[in-house]
Structure formats: C-alpha cells, structure tokens
C-alpha cells in the first residue's frame, strides 16, 4: 500500500507506491465486482488495491507530514484483448461509456472515501479506464472553479455548443491539451442526454485531431461536483492528473543506498 507525503515547501502531495508493471487488465486475476452491457458484450469492473486502500486518512508529523494512502481504485474494462479501439467507437458507444462512468462515480462517491475522482485511459492500452477516488488534494470548499473557467476561456475556446465548451487551458500540463466541460454546473453522475451527446461528439472530434502516437483521455470530477474531460497528446496517469507526484522509491531507502555509495566502501 502507498503513502501520501505532503511537501512542506510547496504543500503539494506525493504518493510513494510501488508501480505495477504491465497492463493492469491483462495481469488482473480477480473476479469483476459489477458489469454493464456494452457492444454485444460487457464492460467489467475490477477493484485494485496496489496503491491506495480505504484505510484511515490522517496526516501525522510536526513538519514532515504523511499518511497511509487512503483512497479507492478500480479499472473498467470495455474490450477484450490488448489494444485500445476507442477511436473506432461510435458516438453512441462513447455515450454509453460515459454513462457507465457516471454509474461508477455515483457508487464510488457513496463509499465516502474521497470526492476527487479521475478516470483515465491511454491509447495503445487494453481499452480500460483506470478510476481513482482520493481525499486529496482538491477541495470543494470554494465556489465552483469550472463554472468560472468556462465563462473566461476567451480566445482559447475551440468549440462550443449550447451545453459544452471545448478549450485549450490557460496553463496546460501537456504540449497539446484540450479540455471539454459543461457550460452549466453538472456532475457526470446525472448528465442529461443532450449534454452527453454533445460531449461524446466533441470528444471524438478532438481525439481524431489530437496528434501524436500517445493519447490520454481523462474524466475528472472534484468535490464541487462539476466534471470536465481532458485529452492529452501523451500518457498521463491518474495521480498526475489529480496533481500528485507518483514516486516508486521510498526516500529513506534511497538515502541509505546513496550513503553507502558515497562512503567509499564503508557501511555497505
């Protein structure tokens, strides 16, 4: 299980967790916890417990603060076999996928583990959304940020309908990044049919023109309950999308290894 660490200088978070190698869908041996009809088959949901678990979250320490990595993670597998065929999906298929995501977000929010949710999929992968719910680092204790954002995109907006806005964010984290958000306050949990159609239609167009060999499609919804979708021209994992640095080596172990190497053969 992982560990959350708060950077005392930036107040940003890192998660120290051993990364699992390979495709999580291919390596998964557990039984699905729920399934949904999808394209003459089923989209199946599997719970993961590698990095985060629903343990107690409480930062401890006077200066260097840390906590057990409290949260929930699952994968939603919508196709058999390795290789993502998202670009081949119809608008109706994409609508159905996001309806499934809405169902899963509703259930996961009911667990009371964390209100900051990200579900991301990568091109070239297995055809799977990796969904994580965390109590950090976003907060719902402010006015809805997304409502303000879609009103002020200005000359960075690339497409708008009556229900959604597609735009390049002011401070992107990838060379090419496009965000899609409802123009009115809306959760993925209770999305109306018109907004769902406009989202699916716009997302297919953006993905077709994003460029590059690697693509990430991510749904994000924070405690304020206004979701948005991000498309990146590189692989971005769920923790980075939520603003958390993922570290695969325990700092104290790394320090011990370096101490041995710098001691000219002593204390090895």
**What strands, in cross-sheet order, belong to the sheet with 72-77?**
34-38, 41-48, 72-77, 128-134, 116-122, 216-221, 228-232, 177-182, 164-167, 157-160
Residue 11 — left, alpha, or beta (φ > 0 → left; ψ -120 to 50 → alpha)? left
How far apart (Å, rounded) are the C-alpha atoms in residues 235 and 64? 31
pLDDT at 123: 84
* DSSP code of residue 107: H
- Strand, helix or coil at 250? coil
The confidence score (pLDDT) of residue 133 equals: 96
Give me the pLDDT at residue 141, please.
54
Q: H or E stretch including 259?
A: helix 251-262
- The CATH superfamily assigned to 3-262 is HIT-like (3.30.428.10)
Which pLDDT score is estimated for 139? Answer: 55
Residue 26, pLDDT score: 80
Rounded to whole angstroms, the Cα distance separating 44 from 161 reads 32
With the C-alpha atoms ordered 20, 26, 28, 32, is the resulting torsion angle positive or negative? Answer: positive
Q: Classify residue 73 by burial, with Cβ atoms within 10 Å: 0-12, 13-18, 19+.
A: buried
Q: What is the pTM of this model?
A: 0.92
Contacts of 240 (CB under 8 A, 6+ apart): 173, 246
My answer on whether omega of the bond before 137 falls inside 30° of 0, hence cis, is yes
CB-side neighbour CA atoms (13 Å) of 2: 30
Q: Split the chain (268 residues) into runs of 10 and give each run's mean pLDDT.
A: 93 88 79 94 93 93 95 93 86 97 96 94 87 82 78 93 96 95 94 97 95 88 91 94 93 92 68
């Amino acid at each position: 299980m992982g560990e959350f660490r708060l950077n005392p200088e930036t107040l940003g978070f890192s998660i120290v967790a051993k990364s699992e190698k390979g495709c999580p869908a291919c390596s998964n041996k557990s039984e699905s916890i729920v399934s949904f009809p999808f394209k003459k088959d089923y989209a199946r949901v599997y719970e993961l417990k590698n990095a985060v678990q629903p343990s107690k979250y409480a930062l401890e320490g006077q200066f260097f603060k840390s906590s057990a990595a409290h949260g929930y993670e699952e994968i939603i597998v919508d196709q058999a076999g390795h290789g993502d065929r998202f670009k081949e999906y119809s608008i109706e298929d994409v609508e159905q996928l996001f309806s499934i995501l809405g169902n899963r977000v509703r259930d996961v929010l009911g667990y009371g583990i964390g209100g900051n949710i990200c579900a991301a999929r990568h091109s070239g992968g297995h055809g799977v959304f990796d969904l994580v719910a965390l109590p950090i680092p976003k907060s719902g204790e402010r006015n809805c940020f997304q409502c303000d954002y879609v009103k002020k995109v200005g000359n960075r907006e690339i497409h708008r309908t009556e229900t959604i806005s597609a735009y390049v964010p002011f401070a992107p984290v990838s060379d090419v990044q496009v965000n899609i958000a409802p123009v009115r306050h809306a959760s993925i949990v209770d999305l109306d049919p018109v907004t769902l159609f406009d989202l699916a239609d716009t997302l297919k167009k953006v993905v077709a023109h994003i460029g590059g060999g690697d693509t990430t499609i991510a749904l994000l919804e924070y405690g304020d309950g206004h979701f948005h979708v991000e498309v990146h021209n590189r692989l971005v994992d769920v923790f980075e999308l939520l603003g958390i640095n993922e570290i695969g080596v325990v700092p104290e172990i790394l320090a011990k290894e370096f101490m041995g190497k710098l001691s000219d053969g002593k204390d090895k």
